[in-house]
Chains A and B, each alone.
Chain A
Amino acid sequence: MASIVSFLLSFLLLYKYAALFIISFLAAIIVPLPVTEVMLGIGAFVGQGYFNFWGSLAAAQIANVLGDLADYAFARRYGSGIVHKVRLDRSRFFAKIEQEMQTHARSTIFITRFAGELGPLVNFLSGAADIPIKKFLIFDFAGNLAYYVGILLIGLWAGNYWENFSELMSLLVSIFVVLVIIKWLWHIYRRFKNNRKERNRIAV
């Protein structure tokens, strides 16, 4: 088992829900922690009677939503300044990403709750693209809830063999990430193509 996972599991066994809250919050903000493996372990601990299912779900869910909101608020406040400073506002590609975010905000926010490090990235994009906070919160909450219920149940079901599922779940998350990126790029590619067709039509 990777040493970071061992460390986090020890931290969880010693400080339980407080540790779970901290880990989930940090992972939601941007820190690349192996949350999937950790949550599988928590699911197993629930089955072993060491954690409570609803307590674990509440701690992880609240921490994650707060972390996501922190990213969103930061980007909402400072996003346009940062984008201008790094000259991303001159990039047509970035403009397409923002358009994509605005057109498919609901599905993007919901699906990226299952997609590891894409989650925090979408939080920042949501803030920078001025997605309404209510819309962001609803789909962020729903996506996180679906993810945490699912992963806890898988850990609970796997029981003492939960470590055998870690690799499988990490692969599943990676598949999700790649699918989301493919979807984004494909839509952006279509936007570029349609814009060019429109420009050509107008020129004619």
Chain B
Amino acid sequence: MNQTDRHIKIVLILLVLILLLLVMTFIKEYEGVKKLETLSPHETFANILNRRSPFTANDVQLIQGWMTFDYVNKIFGLPSNDLETSFDITDASYPRETLARYAERHHMNTAVFIDEVQNAVREFLTKAQ
């Protein structure tokens, strides 16, 4: 067996080992994801395409810094000026600005601001019910 053959064989063996490791990790991750009981594994294409995922008060913890005010308003069904009023926002960039960027520009702690936004949204949704 010449050197090229030997090198290729070694690389192939290493790749197969990497593949096995990846597959095992994939199976472990999949088991974790399967526990999300709200997901139905058997849906037709039409059903999936028409699927809508309404956010509720229980979902406010999904609000993150990368989200814009506009997006948060949309997914939680908030009136466009609700957060504007709650936080006394006068910036022209509202609502097309991310929560993290807004907090940064106003020298606020991002995590604290997001927490406040989550509370404001939860309060609105609870009142609306």
Contact = CB atoms under 8 A, between A and B. Distances in A.
Contacts of B62: 160
Contact of A160 (B2, B15, B33, B53): B53
A92 interface: yes
B4 A92 contact: yes
B59 interface: yes
A158 B33 CA distance: 10
A179 B53 CA distance: 35
Interface stretch (A59-67, A124-132, A140-148, A184-192): A184-192
A53 B48 CA distance: 11
A56 B82 CA distance: 29
B39 interface: yes
B26 interface: yes
Interface residues of B, number: 45
A48 B29 contact: no
B contact patch SS: helix
A193 B23 contact: no
Interface stretch (A1-9, A27-35, A80-88, A113-121): A1-9
Q: How large is the interface on A (under 10, 10 to 19, 20 to 34, 35 or more residues)?
A: 35 or more
17 contacts: A13-B71, A13-B98, A14-B98, A48-B75, A92-B4, A156-B48, A157-B39, A159-B53, A160-B59, A161-B39, A164-B36, A168-B29, A171-B25, A171-B29, A174-B22, A182-B15, A192-B4
Interface of A: 1, 6-7, 9-10, 13-14, 44, 47-50, 53, 92-93, 153, 156-161, 164-165, 167-168, 171-172, 174-175, 178-179, 181-182, 185-186, 188-189, 192-193, 196
